[in-house]
Each structure stands twice: as structure tokens, then as C-alpha cells.
Structure 1
Amino acid sequence: MSSLFLWFAYYAHVKSIEGISNANLSMTNNYLLQVRTNFQNYLSALNDQVNDLIGDKRLQDLLEPAGGDAASEESFTVDLLTWLYQRTSAVDAFRVSVYPIDPGRYADYLSTIGEPNVGAQPWFRQSAAQVSPSWYLKLPEKGRMERPLLSYVKRFSGLYDQTPRGIIATDVSEDQFKRFFSPSGQMIEQRLLLLRDDDGVVLYDSFENGWTGTAFPSSVFVEQFRKDSEGEKTIEVGGSKYLASFVRTDNEPWAIVSLTPLKDLTGTIDEINRATVYFLIGYLLCCVGVVLYITASFTQPIVRLVRYMRKLESGDYQQQIPPSRRQDEVGWLYRGFGSLIRKIEGLINEASRAERDKKELEFQVLSHQINPHFLYNTLESIRWKAEKHGAGEVAQMVAALGNLLRLSLNQGKEITTLGRELEQVKAYVQIEQARMGRPIRILYGVDDGLKELPFLRLLLQPLVENAIQHSIRNDFESGKILISASREGGDIAIDIIDNGGGIPPEALAKLDMEQPPGGRSSESAKGVGLRNVNNRLKLYFGDGYRLRIETGPDFGTKIALRHPILDKEDKSRPD
């Protein structure tokens, strides 16, 4: 056990060092991304400033192709230098120079700015021959500049023609670079570099431009940032190991590189190692003490409780659980387990009583079934005698009543068929017509293929009774009832429609109310058929199968009933 704790502590130590390194690396990468964003914003602004100069009408007029004598050349020199002095102060760069596309015609101007042979320079000839702008690294020269300059060179033509007129060169010095390429304060010896990715030449070095103009000293690293947009690699330079991170710029073939000595990142690890050793020793001692305490205070009591539970699984409900005075979770477990045993004993006794009561109820149900069958047989005898004595109307009414009783009984089963349910409705309508002495116009639109499908009994007759008693009873001449049934997906969709006066609002309000205890009162009886059907549907099939009622005094009542299509093999109550 102690070795496991020791291994875990060592693993945590290794992961903490790894976390420190990853945090430093993440910080460096985020810093580089910020540097790239700021530097690219500067380059974009610089390009806009150069474009503003190119679009200046005065510059365009000065460099318009035309011949001239010495006097005009002298005037050109003065005018162009004056324009440069006035306009280039707005450009965020070390220096801005403008060169005519044909330098041979402006020897006086080029001598004045100290570049009489600029036309022979390779960068000038290359820029004059191409449309896209270029960057050139200018290294220090005697008597000209003491620091390297990165020059942004762009050829421009007339505003209204494509004739090249000149070249504008914008020199960026280390003063501009330092605003973006300053090492973060947390890394003392961090070095930020701007590299050209085609040959790995350093364009800027934050460490006093020590490597500027030379190739980066790790060709393997150069190959990596040529292929990837960002990344990091541990390299060795001058006998020291560095963590080199880089991000590539979006618009130029450059890479911004951070070079950090590994000792800056892992300098505190030795101190962490010593602290970790002391911590592991103390941790090991504490672990041993904690294990002993947990074993004595928690493990052993839990083990004893498990033994009691196993006895309970074997059926020993008479075991005595020793009382516990502890006020923690273990004490609550002991007291709760003892209470659970007592409740189980009570439930077993209650289940035994319920089983006895169930047997008695089953006996009573079997006894009571004799009465409805006796009543049905009696009705059959009355019908036979009525037919024998010529009372055909009485015989038909008694036959319908007997058929209604037989279909209602359904051999004690809750599930009948849709066809038998419709026969029950027809028997009820026949009785009502005979009782009232008035014909009831009722139409049936039911597919024959649906009549053999299982259906919960006593659903349609209460709804038809409700339509007769409350909708069309006052107007048998024009009153009509339509019963239609169709298959919709996995359901039977049944609509019962009448053209009566609609259902009273108080009856609809009581649709979801529970039936009051002790039977139906005179008030609660209104709408009880609807409520019973609605409650039975929700009880058997869920709330999604409740009745949907549309009613009003102007258009009558439409009751929509949905019944799931059950397995024909299942003649019992659905699950």
C-alpha cells in the first residue's frame, strides 16, 4: 500500500513538472501569436501609408515621363526633396526614399541623396522589373548605416496609365522591430527572431542583431517551419539546449521564432525535486497513519455491516443489529439498516394479508359473475315468451338489451374488438329508439379491416350516449351522429361527430376531475361518461391518448379518440 502511495506521489510530481513546461510553452506560443498579430497590423498600416504616398498627385506630376535640362533637373531635385520632407513624416518607418524608374536621367537628384549608382544595385533592377512589392535586407555599410535595415520596396506607375514612374523604398529599423519583438519579462534570456523561410536567413534578431543577415544555426528547425504554420522543437545551439517555438506570418514568407534556454524553463525543477522528496516522506508517513485510522474507524464497521446484509439476503430477518451511537455516516448506516429490517418484516406481513384479501376478492368476483349471467338468461326467456305471444317490439327490445349485456360482460375481459364495440353501440341505439319511440339517425364509417383489431371495451357506448342525451335529443328530426374510424400510423383514430347544441362548458371543465368518493352526486353526474372514458384511456395508454373535444353551439360536437393498435394475440389488459 505504501509503495502505491509513493508511486502516485512520484507520478504527480512528474506530471506537475510536465504541467509547468506545458504552461511555459503555452504562454510562449500565445505571446508569439500576439506578436504576429501586432506585427502584421503594423505591416498592413505601413503598406497603406506607402499607397497614400504613391497616390499623391504632386509625386505623380514630378515623376511624369518628360525630358528636361539642367535647370529643370535642379528644380526637380528641390521639389522632390521638399515633398519627401513634408509627406514622409506621416510614415511609421525609419526612412522613405523615392527613385525615378530611369535613374540615369536624374543624376543630380541621386547625387544629392547619396545614391548615384542606385540603378546598378541588384535590388533596384529586380524591383523595377516586377509589379509586386519586395522586402530586402540592407546590412550595415561604412559611412552609410550602422544598423541593419529591412526595406519595403514597391514599384508604382501613373494613376491613369500603366507606365512605371518610380520606386519607393521604406526602410524599417530595429526601433520599429523592438516595439513588437521585445522578449517577455518572465524569460530573461529569451531571443525573438524574424526568419525568411526560403533560406532561413535571420532578418531581425532581438539580441542586438547578432544573427541578422546570417542563416539560422539549425537547418532541421528551418525545415520544420517551412512545412508547418506553427510549432515548437528542442534544438541545440552553441552547446546549449533551447526550446524553439515559431509561428508563420500570413502575408509574407516569414517566421517569427522564440528561442528560450531550457534552463530558464526548468531552473526551479531542482528545488521542486528536493521539496518533493521531503513531501513524499511526510506524505508516506501520513498515508500510513490515515490507512490505520480508516481501517479501524470505517473499514471494520463496514465489513461487519456487509456480514449482516449477507445474512439478510439468506432470509434471516430476526438478526439483531447492535445499536450504534456514532453520529457520522457509519452510524446512520447501522441505524438505517436496522430500520430497513423492521420495515421489511412489516412489508412481508402486509403482503401476506394482501394475498389473503386478493383470494377473497377473487372468490367474490366469481360469485358475482353468476348474477349477470342469470340476468342474461332471464332476458332470453322473456324475449322468447314475448315472441311467442306476438309482442315483437318487446322481443326486439329485450333481445337488444340482452345483446348489450352480453357484449358489456365480454367474458370478464377488458379487451374486446372494435367490431364488438360497434355492435354494443348498435344495441344501445336500438334500445334508445324503442324507449323513446323516435328514430335516431346514426351513420357508421368504419373500415372492415379495423373491426377485428383489439379494442378496450365500453369506450364508444358512453360517448354515443352522451351525444344522444345532450346533443340531439331535443331535435331528432335534424340531429345526426357520425362514427368514423381509420388507421393513422400505429393508432386507430375514431371521430364521433354530432350536429347538436354542443357540450356545456361546465361538463368540459370536469373532464379531468376525479370522481368524488361515495359514488356520483347530481352535479358530478353531468359529463361522467366523458370523464370515465377519458380517465380509462389515460390509465391504460398514457396521457397522450386523452380525448380531444371540439364543441360549440353553432357546429355541434366532435370527439376525437385515439386507440393504439394492440397485438391480436393479447386479449388481456395491455402493459
Structure 2
Amino acid sequence: MRSGIRLWFNKVRNLRIKAKLFLLITVSMAVSSCISLVGLQIAYSIYDQQIYEKSSQVLNLSSTLIENELNKVERLTFSIMSDEQIQQNLMVMNSNESDYTRIQSRAKLVDRLVQYINTETYITAADITDLRGNSYSSGNLTTLSPERRALIERISEQGGGSLGWVNPDAQDYSLVATRQIRSFDNLDLNKLGTLVLHVNLDKIVNQYAREAVIRDGELLIVSQGNMIYPHTANLKSFMNDSFPSESAAKGFRIMEQDGEKYFVSHIHSDYLGWTYYNRLPFQTIFSHIILMKNWMIAAFLVSFFLLVGFGMTVARSVTRPIDGLISSMRGLQISDLENSELPTLAPLSQQMDEVGLLQRTYRMMIVRIQELIKENYTKQLIIKETEFRSLQAQINPHFLYNTLESINWISKMNGQKQVSQMVESLGYLLRSSISLKQDMISVEDELQLVQHYITIQRVRFEERLDFRLDVPAHLLSQSIPKLTLQPLLENAIKYAVEVMLEPCVIQISGREEADAVVLIVEDNGPGIDEVYLEQILTGERKSKGTGIGLKNIDERIKLSYGDEFGIQVENRLDGGTRISIRLPMMKRG
């Protein structure tokens, strides 16, 4: 057997290149086709399961949102039933009081009912009936059929004071919540009347569950074999013997209606005994898979013929890369490397075997050498231009400082002390920010920068800005990266002072902790959202403005002193933001 395999291997090895390529392509395409068909079948089953899981999640979310709103209605009915004013007025209406007293109680009862109904957007109407059969209603109360009215009364009686629900029908699309009103006086629990609330189920579904349904899907709600949402006639015909059973907690199946297939998933809720369905057109779900299957078959056929033709072309031109490489080397010997016009891309027919890779690498090497020559020449030009611009830029700051000094002198001459202080502070800030001599300065110098910045901001915000400074004297000589406190103060003004109408207190304090110095910048503003802050510190979102951000300051400190130092941002318990800067205890220099 071994000799037979060796003989077959030798025959294959001795075949012409065209035959080898044809055999390789044929076997490869056959194996790929089998793998693709098996993978496609697996993808069908996985896709079914994923759609079911997603649909189940949607139905869980939809049912939860809907029933949360119905729970609110239930709590509302209890509030109305237990309302002392409503109970007292119902007692008057059930008694033999004078007509004048009864009219007053009736008006109070209706007014109280209106107050409750106006708090809920889903209640279309409310009705209270006393023991004498008198009705007190509010809202858009529709006329009920005798059968539906009798059904509501029967469910209310069966509840005995607990809440009962009456599903919508063909004449009345509203969901009805009803319960008896019983007296809480001396806990005798005597019946005083009946409360009926009409709930707009369509509005609840459209508000909380419609957007949650999968695109192109339809949400259906069924109770005891009757569809209560929606009220479309063609969907009611969907209710037949083939519809999924409501007894199962959840599941899915593929159904057919009017010649079209549908993917239907359902989930049962024990709160009202409703079953929620999500109906998706089968063609919409699986159209992409069917299209992908057809495209795979077409791509296989086209690829087969293209690969065969390509293999034949490669076999005929197997020696062409070597000739091209030799020709390029000879041309390079008699030409200038910088000015030679060597093609940057290899021919489309070039094969990717050892010879092809050699030719391709050679071409890329020559192109890279040419690029480095041009890049070096360009960098020399940029360096010269940068030096020239640097000389020009040295003139502008001196001109700006001299101009500010002139403005300061004129302000003092004219008695404009406030303008003079602003100009002096602005000049100090400009000199400090532009100066590149020192990266590390003392806390005292940094606080002097802050004081000049506050001088300018106080002119803008006046009494709205209450700045306080409490840094011990022995900490003033400690070193700190330049422009650390000023950006934090700028953030406090932007996110606290600017958004507050009342005075905002910004305080810079300092203390010593073991071998570290802690400087604190805090305010009594509205604070900062924890998620937004986390995104800024991790770099997922840029902070507002164009200044130095929190992440930048934290990285500067960590690069200077180590990862155990940096800034910490937190919201204060009494409101506002606190930023702590932790620095090592060290002397300047």
C-alpha cells in the first residue's frame, strides 16, 4: 500500500504545472463547497435560535413595560377607593340628606375624581356609581352596551373590593379596571359604590412597547383565545387552530397565513393571563440567507472558471518574473537611483511564490529608498522653514506685552483701576503660559497664577464667584507641574459658576498626608455625571472646551512622579465636585 501511495505521489509530482494547478483547484473547490453547505445549514439553525432569543427578549421587555403601567393604574384605583373625601361624599350620596347637601357632595366628588384622572395620560374616563345607581363620571366616557356593563358589574362583585380587569371587545376598545369602593370608617368595609376606569391600551402599547418590537414585526396581545391588541380585522383572522398554545410559557414556530409564512414567538404573563406574540414575516427574516445561498453558488461557479483561467496564465508565465527582475537590475546599473522611473506596483499576473515574492520585495525596496531620499530632502526644507518661523514668532510676544503695558499705563492714568488689574493679570498669565523655561514651579507660583486668573473672572461674574484659598505656608515651596491648578479652576468656573444663578464657592486647600502633598479644588456646583467623568478619564470622550483636560493633567503628574500620584475626581455628599491632586513631598530643585 505504501508503494502504491508513493507511486501515485510521484506521478502527481511529475505532472505539468497546468495539470497540478487544475487538480489543486478542483479538489480545493470541492472541499470548500462541502464545507460551505454544511456551514450554511448550521447557520440556518443558529439564525433561528438567535431570532427566537432576540424576539423573546423583546417580548419580555414589552410585557414588563405594559404591565408596569397597568400596575400604576391598579395603585390609582386603590388611591381613589381609599380617598377620605370620596368616601365621605359617597356616604352623603347614599344617605337621605337634603338635596342641597347632595348637590354639594356630588360636585366635590366629581372634582376629586377629575384631579385623579388628570394625573394619568392613559385614563380616558372614570366613573363612580353609588348604591342608588347614580353615576359620577369624568373624561370621555363612551356608551357601553348592556352586556358589557353587566360584565363589568359582575367582575366588580366577584372581586369583593379587589381590582378586576375587563378586556376590550369589538365595541369598546378600552381596557376597563373596576373595583368596589368599601367604607374604611371603623373598618366596617360596607359597600359605598363601584369604581370603573377606562384605560387606553393602544396608547400604552404605542408609548412603551411599540418601539421595542423587532423591525418589521407586529406585537399581538391575546387573552383566553381573544385578541385584545391590535383591533385589525386581518390580524383577528390569524387566530385559528394553528396558533401557538397559550399554555406554554414561551416558544416559537413558523406559521402560514394567506400564502405567506410568519415567524411567531410568544411569551405568557401570569399578571393578567395575557399572552404576548411577536409576528415577523418569514421572507423578511430569511431573505438575506436565501440571497446569500444563491450568491455563494454563483460565486463558486465564477470563481472556478476564473481560477482555472488564472492558473493556466500563471503556468505559462512562470519564468516571466525572473526575466523582469534581471531586466530591472540591469536598468538600475546604468541609471540614477533617485531619478529612475521604476514602477511602484507589480504586474497583476505576478505569482506569489518565492520568485514572485523576491521580485515584489526588490521593487518595494527600490521604492522605499526613493521615498526616503525625498523624505529626507523634505525634512531639511521643513527644518529651515521652522527655524525661520521661530525667529519671527519671538517678535510677537514682546509686541503683545508692550501693548498690554501701554494699556495698563493709560488705565492707571484715567483712574480705571479694574481695567488695570485685568491687564496686569492677563499679562502675567500670558507670560507664564508662553514661557518654556520651567516645567516645574512652586505651589506659591502656581497659586499666584490662579490669583491673576481669578482677578479676571471676578470682573466677569462679580458676586457670583466666591473664591477661597486655604493652603498652609509650609506647602508653598513644594514643586508642582506648571499649569495644574489653573485648568482645574477653569473647569470649576465652566461647570459650576456658569450654570448657577446663586453665588458659587470655589476653594483651593492643601494638606500633608504621610510623604505626599494633597491639593484640593472643590466647588458647591451641580457636580458631574459619573458616567461622563469615567469616559473623559479613559479617553472615550473629549471634555468640552479647548484647554488642558483632566486626563492630560493626570498623565503629566503620573509621568513626572509615578502611577501612585495623580488626580482623583469625586462628587461631594453635600453637592459639588472635589478634585484632589496628590504630589510627592519634595523641595523645589
TM-score interval (norm. to shorter): 0.3 to 0.5
Kindly name which structure, 1 or 2, has the bigger radius of gyration based on alpha carbons.
Answer: 1
- The alignment's TM-score, normalised by the length of structure 2, stands at 0.42
